[in-house]
Amino acid sequence: MTAGVAHVAGAGPDLPDPVPSAGRTRSLTAYLLLLPGALWLIVFFVVPLAQLFTVSLQSGFPGYPGYYYRDVNFGTYASALTEFAGHFGRSLLYAGLATLFAFVLAYPLAYAMAFRAGRWRNFMMICVIAPFFTSFILRTIAWRQILADNGPVADTLTFLHLLPGGRITETWMAVVAGLTYNFLPFMVLPIYASLERADARVIEAGGDLYANGFTTFRTVTLPMSMPGVIAGTLLTFIPAAGDYVNAELLGSDRSTKMVGNVIESQFFKVLGGFPTAAALSFTLMAIILAMVFLYIRRFGTEELL
Amino acid sequence: MSTVKDWVRTRFAMISAILVLLYLFVPVAYTFVFSFNDYRKSNIVWNSAAGPTLKHWKDPCGAPGVCDALLTSIQIGAIATVVATVLGTMLAFALVRHRFRGRATSNVLIFIPMATPEIVLGASLLTIFVQGFSRFGLRLGFWTIVIAHIMFCISFVVVTVKARLQSLDPRLEEAGQDLYAGPGGTFWRVTFPLVLPGIVGAAMLAFSLSFDDFIITNFVSGDETTFPKFVYVSYLRGIPAQANVIGFSMFVIAVALVVAGQTIGNARRK
Amino acid sequence: MGLFSGAQGKAARGFREAQGDLHIDGVTKVFTDFTAVDDLTLDVPRGSFFALLGPSGCGKTTTLRMVAGLEQPTSGRILIGDTDLTGSRPYERPVNTVFQSYALFPHLTVRDNVAFGPKRRGESDALRLADEALELVEMTRFAGRKPGQLSGGQQQRVAVARALVNRPEVLLLDEPLGALDLKLRRQMQVELKGIQTEVGLTFIHVTHDQEEAMTMADTVAVMNLGRVEQMGHPEVLYDLPRTTFVANFLGQSNLGNGRVVDTDGDDLVVEVAGTTARIPKARSTVSSGAVTFGVRPEKVRISDERPRDAGNDVRATVVDVSFTGVATQYLVTVPSGSTWMVYEQNLDVERNHLRPGDEVWLEWSSGHAFGVATDDDAAASGTAAAAPDDADAPDDTDAPDDADAPGDPTARPAASVDAP
């Protein structure tokens, strides 16, 4: 049917088109449909990125902080990366941990929605999305208060001797917890979508074949939901790695700052920090894109594209 | 003993799901509770001496600037949603329904913004607005926020509409043509109504992304204040409880809209 | 007949009025890498029920889509009466289709689905026409429902009504019963045939179910690899297949590769399966040299004594006996080594005494034998195969997609082809 679909969809170059002119007008239609959106993305995404790259190569006028000239100065990258290597490390580590925790929390939820919820499915779906409509900043600040020193969570954990430092806020734990919380729905929804498409009967058959529930999960359920897991981990990891709000609101002044905090402060608080901020942004993007493409290649999905 | 174990085992998924859902609602509940706090200086510690109060609910615009910020967010969200939905839907149709030179490149162009951290988007837009486009008289503010929001919403609209379009049975459109509807008639009477739920979903997604965005907005907003920015900035001085009122109301309104939408959808199917 | 009493409204722009027989004139359809339909010529008389029968990938659906205008032929012409429809769009043709899996519009009610065509054609009383059409298929009760709330059989009726309401010159049915269970399919076959008789339109029915084709159609065309192998009245096709493919696709046949050794009056004398048999000259497509001899399983008699009028008989060994109620089916091995099938009606009350391993004689009347050209490809690739029994419902209803499946994937349990 591929040929038939393509025909209705507009003749492809691989199909003999019975009406020669129709092919041309159809491809004109395609470009007309494409043009406004693509132009927007080029002018407000590609061009700014190129500009950011040139900024990262600029040099400052010695003695005139805040003034730059065009240059091809990779020195900024070297100095920025040496100075802020720790921040990069933390960004990737925190984002990785948050992705892992989000996965652990999201999978049972997605699984229950897909196979156990029955008529409660839509209700649960609403429950996953709904908290999002209370502003992200408000919810993060709420967490700060809930996790605060002498707050209910910190007190309980201290009482149980599970919290040696005696506090959660202003530690890496609060930052990772905040990241996990904020991006959890991005993990739930794609996993749910791919589980819903999977056939429950296949999973039951797996349950018949392997008595052990974990074996069934590992050999049948998880592979079937892999496209969703991949999409979910990317949708969680990418924004988490670039986030600075959680580290700002939940973390401490020094030891939990992520690369996003550096970029933000270099832009807004450090005079002459533009090239450094640009170099850090560009490096962050390069690292993430490289990871994304390796990841997608490794697990072979084009679902996101 | 084993029966208890079995009971837990068979319901493990559902029990953990409910716990995770509760976890998702914890900060919402906190926001709700503290909207009744009769605080003195800052709305951080519950003032048990005064007890709960309705005064913030009676006067949601009572804190200076909060309703201006809300209005700005709604305006930006509305404009960005309309433009991004139209442009994104057009892109989705082009990508699903046409084979043309540059299709693969277009797919990458749409995918990359989603794989780019917001802070990089914000930083790059800031540099271009300050160092490039200011030449054309563009100043940081309302319209730069709108431009930025449209940019990052487009990709999400494309992905949502594309999914809907791809799941459309091509035979339905063939049936339209077979039943004497020309290309235009087939589009407006068959294709469009069937893709519409996807477009509406995409628009809702775009609005919520725009409304809740802080990072990019913070970079490109200049002196303009949106609701998330208002909350973030006032955090140091103490957030007024009116922000809690508004934040919780948005939650209620959104849930009501979704429930209403589903009820209407169900009623129509019957 | 109230159905088509409404005055026809103004036709859509570019609409081509046409009346008469359908002519498919030398049509070829080439997709990128294979030829789906190969120089096909067919004439379908006006008002007849015509079936295109063949396995997946034989080109039948592509042919149908070209008549509908959903595909354009690479070469050749399609006409109704004297009007050339080649190159016109689906909405410009007086042709409607009942799609496989129905393709009912899920966002419209049943009534609006049926009224869709008349409305597009500008009929002023589209809704009344729709109601009449729904009455014809006994679906009036469901007019206000959405297609998603109907069963498969009900959807099928709506799809028929939606096509019929337009009073097309030709109605195309693309495996319309494929998604229904056996019992419902039987019932719908009878109903569809009844509707066709009542409205008197030309129906072209595409199916891979030989029994369905034979039950419903006045004329069956058996297609294979983009060509029509044989065309004719179902009884004629069954009685006298002209190719090994038809012999095997339409019902079952015992086939054996043999050689014409002599002629005797009106008969050919053939050496086959380790015996000598006769085929009337008129029942063979070849008159000398290699021939594939065939006889239908139900035309063969089985007994444990040698028949007196020896001639068309052969010794065989019983391999399997299965009792099916009305008949008993025997699998036997003939001296050449291949397996033949014999159906014997259970007319006697006493129990059958033949058991696997028994030596038996097979016998048939020479008037039931037929001869076709030996098809080496078919013999080698195992395409010579029994057509599917209806009971095992077609499992490929979702993918009888002519464009994607060249060749013959319907390799079914081979009945019998003697290696020469």
How high is the pLDDT of residue B84?
96
How high is the pLDDT of residue A211?
56
Lowest-confidence pick of A28-42, B3-17, C40-54, C310-324: B3-17
Query: What mean pLDDT, rounded, does chain B reach?
Result: 86
Question: May I ask the CATH class of domain C244-381?
Answer: mainly beta
pLDDT at A18 over 80: no
Across the strands, what pairs with C254?
C295
pLDDT per residue as tens digits for the range B220-248: 998 899 999 998 888 877 788 888 888 88
- Angle subtended at Cα A256 by Cα A255 and Cα A259, rounded to the nearest 5 degrees: 110
Q: Which among A107, A127, A123 has a CA at the least distance from the CA of A191?
A: A107
pLDDT at A15 over 60: no
How high is the pLDDT of residue B58?
82
CA distance A96 to A291: 12
pLDDT per residue as tens digits for the range B117-142: 999 999 999 988 888 777 777 788 89
Range A78-93 average pLDDT: 88
pLDDT at C402 over 60: no
Q: Following DSSP, what letter does each residue of C70-103 receive, concatenated? A: SS--SEEEEEETTEE-TT--GGGSSEEEEBTTB-
How high is the pLDDT of residue A210?
58
Question: For residue C416, what are the contacts with CB-CB under 8 A and spacing of at least 6?
Answer: C253, C254, C255, C256, C338, C339, C340, C341, C384
Residue type, A276: T
- Write out the H or E segment, with its range, that includes residue B187: none
In the numeric block, which tokens belong to residue A289?
Answer: 């894109």
Report ipTM for this prediction.
0.87
- Phi/psi of residue A110, each to 5°? -60, -40
CB contact under 8 A, B258 and A184: no
- Write out the H or E segment, with its range, that includes residue B94: helix B66-97
| Distances in whole angstroms, Cα of residue A38 to Cα of each of A43, B79, B102 | 9, 18, 11
Across the strands, what pairs with C220?
C51, C232
Other C-beta atoms within 10 Å of B233: how many?
15
Please name the residue ranges forming H helices in C165-243. 182-199, 210-216, 234-239
With contacts defined as CB-CB under 8 Å, which chain A residues touch C71?
3-4, 7
Nearest to B174 among C103, C117, C148 (CB): C103
CA distance A102 to A67: 43
Q: At what angle do helices A172-197 and A136-146 cross, to 10 degrees?
A: 130
Nearest to B258 among A14, A126, A292 (CB): A126
With contacts defined as CB-CB under 8 Å, which chain C residues touch B172?
103, 105-106
In the numeric block, which tokens belong to residue A46?
Answer: 């590609």
Sequence spans of domains, chain C: 22-232, 244-381
How high is the pLDDT of residue A254?
78
Cβ(A154)–Cβ(A70) under 8 Å? no
Confidence of residue C398 (pLDDT cuts 50, 70, 90): very low
Fold of A78-299: MetI-like fold (1.10.3720)
CB contact under 8 A, C116 and B189: yes
- CA-nearest residue to A286 within chain B is B116
CB contact under 8 A, A2 and C74: no
Please classify residue C276 by burial: count the beta carbons closer than 10 Å to its beta carbon, then call 0-12 exposed, 13-18 middle and 19+ buried: middle
How high is the pLDDT of residue B30?
87
How high is the pLDDT of residue C205?
92
How high is the pLDDT of residue A19?
36
With contacts defined as CB-CB under 8 Å, which chain C residues touch A15?
31-32
Chain B 19-78, residues with CB within 8 Å of chain A CB atoms: 20-21, 23-28, 30-31, 34, 44
Q: Which among C361, C407, C91, C398 has a CA at the least distance from the CA of C224?
A: C407
pLDDT per residue as tens digits for the range B50-76: 777 777 888 778 777 888 999 999 999
How high is the pLDDT of residue C310?
55
- Output the CA torsion sign for A155, A156, A159, A161: negative
Query: What mean pLDDT, rounded, does chain C reach?
Result: 81
In the numeric block, which tokens belong to residue B69?
Answer: 């910020």
CA distance C364 to C320: 20
pLDDT per residue as tens digits for the range B175-188: 999 999 988 899 99
With an 8 Å Cβ cutoff, is A186 touching chain B? no
Lowest-confidence pick of A296-305, B214-223, B256-265, C290-299: A296-305
How high is the pLDDT of residue A44?
93
Residue type, A24: R
Cβ(B199)–Cβ(B117) under 8 Å? no
Q: Which residues of chain A form CATH 1.10.3720.10?
A: 78-299
Provide the CB-side half-sphere exposure for A1 (13 A, CA). Answer: 12
Query: What mean pLDDT, rounded, does chain A reach?
Result: 79
With an 8 Å Cβ cutoff, is B14 touching chain A? yes
- Write out the H or E segment, with its range, that includes residue C22: strand C22-31
Cβ(C324)–Cβ(C345) under 8 Å? no
pLDDT per residue as tens digits for the range C63-121: 999 999 999 999 999 999 888 888 888 998 999 999 988 899 999 999 999 999 999 98
pLDDT per residue as tens digits for the range B131-171: 877 777 778 889 999 999 999 999 999 998 998 898 888 89
Range B21-28 average pLDDT: 89
Sequence spans of domains, chain B: 64-239
pLDDT per residue as tens digits for the range C243-300: 999 998 888 888 888 888 888 888 888 888 778 888 998 898 888 888 999 999 999 9
CB contact under 8 A, B177 and C69: yes
In the numeric block, which tokens belong to residue B84?
Answer: 């991004």
Confidence of residue A23 (pLDDT cuts 50, 70, 90): very low
With an 8 Å Cβ cutoff, is A141 touching chain B? yes
Helix/strand/coil for C55: coil
Q: Is pLDDT larger for residue C274 or for residue A201?
A: C274
Cβ(C131)–Cβ(C111) under 8 Å? yes
Residue of C72, C78, C88, C89 to mutate, testing the A interface (most A Cβ within 10 Å of its Cβ): C72
| Distances in whole angstroms, Cα of residue C169 to Cα of each of C27, C81, C157, C280 | 20, 10, 19, 42
CA distance C395 to C404: 17
In the numeric block, which tokens belong to residue C18?
Answer: 């046409």
Fold of C22-232: Rossmann fold (3.40.50)
Range C41-45 average pLDDT: 90
Range A45-60 average pLDDT: 88
How high is the pLDDT of residue C349?
64
With contacts defined as CB-CB under 8 Å, which chain B residues touch A288?
115-117
Nearest to B177 among C90, C146, C149 (CB): C90
Chain C 186-225, residues with CB within 8 Å of chain B CB atoms: none
| Distances in whole angstroms, Cα of residue B31 to Cα of each of A40, A226, B27, B44, C139 | 37, 36, 6, 11, 55
pLDDT per residue as tens digits for the range C149-164: 898 889 988 999 999 8
How high is the pLDDT of residue C263?
87
In the numeric block, which tokens belong to residue C135?
Answer: 């009455």
Strands C170-174 and C22-31 come out as unpaired
Rounded to the nearest angstrom, the minimum Cα separation between A5 and chain C is 10
Range A216-229 average pLDDT: 80
Nearest to B255 among A115, A130, A213 (CB): A130
Length of chain B in residues, anyone?
Answer: 270
CB contact under 8 A, A4 and C71: yes
CB contact under 8 A, C403 and A14: no
Please classify residue C106 by burial: count the beta carbons closer than 10 Å to its beta carbon, then call 0-12 exposed, 13-18 middle and 19+ buried: middle
- Angle subtended at Cα B196 by Cα B193 and Cα B197, rounded to the nearest 5 degrees: 120
Confidence of residue B269 (pLDDT cuts 50, 70, 90): low
- Angle subtended at Cα C100 by Cα C95 and Cα C104, rounded to the nearest 5 degrees: 80
Range A235-241 average pLDDT: 91
Nearest to A131 among B25, B93, B120 (CB): B25
With an 8 Å Cβ cutoff, is B240 touching chain A? no
CA distance B164 to B168: 7
How high is the pLDDT of residue B6?
67
Q: At what angle do helices B241-269 and A121-129 cross, to 10 degrees?
A: 150
How high is the pLDDT of residue A49?
92
CB contact under 8 A, C70 and A4: yes
With contacts defined as CB-CB under 8 Å, which chain A residues touch C91?
none
Confidence of residue C378 (pLDDT cuts 50, 70, 90): very low
Residue that has been written with the tokens 């594309």 in this structure: B162
- Angle subtended at Cα C130 by Cα C125 and Cα C136, rounded to the nearest 5 degrees: 130
How high is the pLDDT of residue A208?
62
pLDDT per residue as tens digits for the range A133-190: 888 888 888 888 888 877 777 777 877 777 777 777 778 888 999 999 999 988 998 8
Provide the CB-side half-sphere exposure for C72 (13 A, CA). Answer: 17
pLDDT at B79 over 90: yes
With contacts defined as CB-CB under 8 Å, which chain B residues touch C100?
171
Rounded to the nearest angstrom, the minimum Cα separation between B55 and chain A is 20
How high is the pLDDT of residue A26?
64
Lowest-confidence pick of A175-184, A193-202, C8-17, C135-144: C8-17
Range C196-211 average pLDDT: 88
With contacts defined as CB-CB under 8 Å, which chain A residues touch B108?
305
Which conformational region is residue A66 in: left (phi greater than 0), alpha (psi within -120 to 50 degrees), or beta? left
In the numeric block, which tokens belong to residue B86?
Answer: 């139209």
How high is the pLDDT of residue B131?
80
pLDDT at A219 over 80: no
CB contact under 8 A, C31 and A4: no
Q: First CA to last CA across chain B, in angstroms? A: 47
| CATH architecture of the domain with residue range B64-239 | Orthogonal Bundle (1.10)
- CA-nearest residue to A17 within chain C is C72
pLDDT at B267 over 50: yes
Range C16-28 average pLDDT: 86
pLDDT at C379 over 70: no
pTM of structure = 0.79
Helix/strand/coil for C279: strand
The 3 state secondary structure assigned to chain A is CHHHHHHHHCCCCCCCCCCHHHHHHHHHHHHHHHHHHHHHHHHHHHHHHHHHHHHHHCEECCCCCCCEECCCCCHHHHHHHHHCHHHHHHHHHHHHHHHHHHHHHHHHHHHHHHHHCHHHHHHHHHHHHHHHHCCHHHHHHHHHHHCCCCCHHHHHHHHCCCCCCCCCCCCHHHHHHHHHHHHHHHHHHHHHHHHHHCCHHHHHHHHHHCCCHHHHHHHHHHHHCHHHHHHHHHHHHHHHHHCCHHHHHHCCCCCCCCHHHHHHHHHHCCCCCHHHHHHHHHHHHHHHHHHHHHHHHHHCCCCCC
Q: Which among A110, A127, A122 has a CA at the least distance from the CA of A197?
A: A110
